[in-house]
Structure 1
Amino acid sequence: MMRYQKGAASLLFASLVLIAALTLSLAAYKSTYFQSKRVQNEIAARQSLWAGEGAIECAFAKAQQDRNRAELIGADYLKTDCQQALSLAEIQVVSLGSQKYSLQPLDERNQPIVQKVMDFSNGRLAGAIQSTGDLFMQAATLVSPPDPGTETDEGWECVAIRYKSDIELGGSLVNHGLQTTTKPYDGFDSNGKDCIDSKGGGNKKKDGLMQDTELKPFEAMFETTKENWQQVRDNPKYEFAVLTGDKAVTGSESPRVSDCGQKVKELIELGNSRIWIDGSCEITGASLSSMSQESQLTDGVLLLVHNGVFSLHGSGSFKGVLFQLNDGFQPTSSDWNGLEGDSYLSNPGFNNQVKKAFGNDYPDANTAAYFQRGSFNFTGGQFLDVDGQLVMFHDSLKFSYNEDVIDSIFGLTPPKWVKGSWQDF
């Protein structure tokens, strides 16, 4: 009997040990199961994050290559290359204004995985007209739309004219603001804001003016000092077609390009989008009209006048940018002899207006660097790097800013990540 009792006790003990072992094994298995499940979830989350970051990198590479803001916000732009390839539900692209865009890849539950901000803005100074020379604008000036400039909480900067030293407005400067049908560039979104203080088009005389005593248009545009103008002219990046003055002018150190407008037109017809004029140039009447019409068949033309006086007479619109650079050249009355502009600049009444505006000791009007008569505009802007020299607009001016024209000439700025938005630690 004792022997059977001992056997039962041993069996019971063995059973308890086995149950304990099975319990421990089950607990260990359950722990291992949950650990495995957690690892699987972490891997899935990490894979989703990798897919999201991969989509962001893909979008950035594609935007770097194409450099097209308007396409970026298109519904199917990223679909094939970046969305479907990574099995994402969607890549949301939202304009934040000031040429900044939020990118958010979404998972299968339409939840955002990661969010980064891409910035297409350029480093150009705002201002439809920029001048280091003294500006004399005899009649009214209308800007519609202006260069929007920088966006703030209150509205847009909206600089119509950026000047270094002096400006005289003989008429009003009217800024119609950004709530117009014509946009300053393709894809522009004002975010419901208008120009600061203009409320959709102010009529203040000083509306849209900005003084910048450090203004350096050539340096800002070409990223080098104006002393290096020859390097810019001969740089294959720009492929300048060069017109050189072929007519000597008595008493002037700057030769004149004869029949300047016709020669510019012919160069545009040949496919040249960047034209460098060494010397003085005057374009009038039919030549100005035909040159302007030819520019409309292009994406935009850069016309750069170097070391000479420049004179325009007529109305119309040139699809492009005007840049005038006088470096070491000081215009005199001799530079205007024989030009149509001389009959206005040498007029005593005209000269008296200049003296009244800038002082009796100011040089005579017929020593101006730039003279424009007629309602004519360059849609990409006018940049006049002519320190201390006179810049004259005789008649009313209607200006419509178009940044796409500038981009076509100088190239779109490649996008960059907003600081703090993407791996910039």
Structure 2
Amino acid sequence: MNKHQQSGMTTLLITSMLLIVALLFSLASYKNLFYQIKRTQNEVLARQAHWAAEGGLECGFAQIQKAGNISDAKPTFIDCESLLNLVDVDVDVDDNYIKSEYDNISNKLVKKKIKLSSRLAGAIQARSDLKLIGDYDISPDVEGKHNNGDYKCVAIRYSNRFIFDKTEPGNSGTELEVMDPIENGPYSGFNGKCAEGYRSHLKVTTDSFNDATKNNLEKDFVYDPDFDPFESFFGDKRSELEQIRKEFVQISGSIESAGSNNTCTKKIKAAFDSIKNKDKKVWVTGDCDLGGDNSLSLDLDPKVLVIENGIIATWASVLFTGSVYHLIDPTIYPVSNLTSKWNEMPTKDQFSTLVKANSVYIDGGSFNTTGGMVFDTPGGLTTMIAGMVLSYDRGTNPLPINNKITWQQGSWHDF
């Protein structure tokens, strides 16, 4: 073998070795590349599962917003599951976590917490001073569960002064007792009782401004100096008052005496009778003497009665199926000295001893509502002197429940 032949063999050998080394490096590189591709595909599938699951959260959240509450929304979660091929969309009512699970190509379970800023609870809500004289049995509203499994009952929410007065003649034996809520009363499906410490029973004169007696009021009497019932009740801001009023049948108030065909009660009844659907809403503007007429008891349809910028007097035993909202804007209708207006009321002789300069509502005959009463009359005095059995039933108020539902800070979209 000559020298040139040996040189060619060496070149071929070296080239072959280099090709083999290159092949080995290529194979190693491809193995790593295949691994990276597989990881990428897995990551894509994981992210698809994640976003499908989070889509379930968004869908469930939207359904709760639409329904206004969790219990009515839960049956619609099946639509979210079907739309996004999810295993489960549900809410834990104990801690308000929405969970959404995807388990198709990849598995993913996500949970986020929602915050429910619900309507203001309270069978009676008062921004005025509130004085009750007589016997009262109140089956209250609730604002959620207590830790012991029972409910935080709210009989009366007030922002200024509350008095249960036994000093008036004939009232030495009167009491105010808060009972358990009625079944389905606070909301559809409710069946529970008040937690310990949420059922006041007043047997002596009690004044929230009196340090010696204010502790007679248990936790079902909620002192809330800053509460505003308007948006909770109507579902819109005060700035939208004009638009809200347009959704009601509107009439003007009346202080004509019994026997007239134009008394406030007759005008209100005629207005309700003119509404043929079940959504009965009447808005009265001005002073209203309801007198001793109990004809509003005859209409058993759920309804809302709003009386704006006027004083109210009633001397009849009425069971009103629905809610009453007394609304006064002190900048339009000053309440500091209303004595002259009370002197014009036909029923003034029946309650002359009860009239104070800032009296805005006097009930001497048990005007009892089933859907609650709201006295949005700051600076005024609301006085009731009668026996009353108030069994709060939110279902007799045709206005929709307006729960504000948001994601809990720290658990979703905090940027």
Tell me the equivalent position of 2:209.
none
- Classify 1:396/1:2 alpha carbon distance in 2 versus 1 (closer, same or farther; 3 Å): farther
| Distance across 2 between alignment mates of 1:219 and 1:60 | 22
**SS of 1:186 mapped into structure 2:** coil
**Paired residue secondary structure (1:116):** strand
Q: Structure 1 stretch 364-373 or stretch 38-47: which is displaced more?
A: 364-373
Find out whether 1:211 has 2:219 as its counterpart: no
Structure 1 partner of 2:414: 424
- Find the counterpart in structure 2 of residue 147 from structure 1: 141
Is 1:257–1:280's contact at 8 Å kept on the other side of the alignment? Answer: no
1:278 and 1:306 in contact (8 A); partners too = yes
Q: Residue 9 of structure 1: CA displacement? A: 5.9
CA RMSD of aligned residues (A): 3.8
* Residue 267 of structure 1 pairs with residue 261 of structure 2: no
* TM-aligned CA deviation for residue 8 of structure 1: 6.7
AA paired with 2:141? D
Give SS of 1:301's match.
Answer: strand
Post-superposition offset of 1:115: 1.6
Which runs of 5 or more structure 2 residues have no equivalent in the other structure?
167-173, 203-215
2:85 corresponds in structure 1 to 87
Choose which of 112, 118, 140 in structure 1 pairs with 2:114: 118
Q: How many residues end up aligned between the 2 structures?
A: 380
Structure-1 separation of matches of 2:391 and 2:365:
15
Residue in structure 2 matched with residue 70 of structure 1 by the alignment:
71
Distance 1:187 1:419, change over 3 A: farther
Higher relative helix content:
1
Match of 1:34 in 2: 35
d(CA) in 1 for partners of 2:12 and 2:291? 116
Displacement after TM superposition at 1:73 (Å): 1.5
User: Are the counterparts in 1 of residues 291 and 347 from structure 2 also a CA contact under 8 Å?
Assistant: no
CA contact (8 A) 1:177 1:195 kept: no
Larger strand percent: 2
Shift of 1:314: 0.9
Tell whether the 8 Å contact from 2:230 to 2:237 is kept in structure 1 after alignment: yes
Contact 1:92/1:106 (8 A) holds in 2: no
* SS of residue matched to 1:297: coil
| Counterpart-to-counterpart distance in 2, 1:169 and 1:118 | 43
Deviation at 1:45, TM superposition (A): 0.6
Secondary structure in structure 1 of the residue aligned to 2:90: strand
Q: CA deviation at 1:32?
A: 0.8
Q: Distance in 2 between matches of 1:285 and 1:381?
A: 20
Q: 2:47 maps to which residue? A: 46
Aligned-pair identity in percent equals: 28
In the alignment, the residues of structure 2 paired with residue 258 and residue 83 of structure 1 have an alpha-carbon distance, to the nearest angstrom, of 58
Aligned counterparts of 1:305 and 1:367: Cα–Cα separation in 2? 16
Distance 2:18 2:47 in 1: 42
**1:42 CA drift (Å):** 0.3
Would the aligned equivalents of 1:134 and 1:390 in 2 still touch at CA under 8 Å? yes
Indicate if the aligned counterparts of 1:309 and 1:335 stay in contact, CA closer than 8 A. Answer: no
- The residue aligned with 2:211 is none
TM-score, structure 1 normalization: 0.74
Contact 1:288 1:313 (8 Å CA) reproduced: no
Task: Label 1:10 to 1:404 Cα distance change in 2 as closer, same or farther (>3 A).
Answer: farther
- Asked if structure 1 preserves the Cα contact closer than 8 Å seen for 2:200 and 2:217, the reply is no
TM-score by length of 2: 0.75
Matched, 1:332 2:339: yes
Matches of residues 194-233 of structure 1 in structure 2 within 5 Å? 194-195=194-195, 197-198=197-198, 201=199, 203=201, 205-207=216-218, 208-214=220-226, 217=229, 232=241
Aligned partner of 2:314: which letter? S
Asked if 1 retains the 8 angstrom alpha-carbon contact of 2:138 and 2:179, the reply is yes
Closer/same/farther in 2, CA of residues 11 and 277 from structure 1, 3 Å limit = same
Give the Cα–Cα distance (whole angstroms) in 2 for the partners of residues 287 and 375 of structure 1: 14
Distance 1:210 1:120, change over 3 A: closer
Q: Distance in 1 between matches of 2:137 and 2:105?
A: 51
Residues in 2 aligned to 1:111 and 1:257: alpha-carbon distance in whole angstroms? 72
Q: Give, in whole Å, the separation in 1 of the partners of 2:293 and 2:106.
A: 61
Report the CA distance shift for 1:14/1:84 in structure 2 as closer, same or farther (over 3 A): same
User: Aligned pair 1:289/2:297, yes or no?
Assistant: yes
Match of 2:164 in 1: 168
Matches of 1:95 and 1:182, distance apart in 2: 18
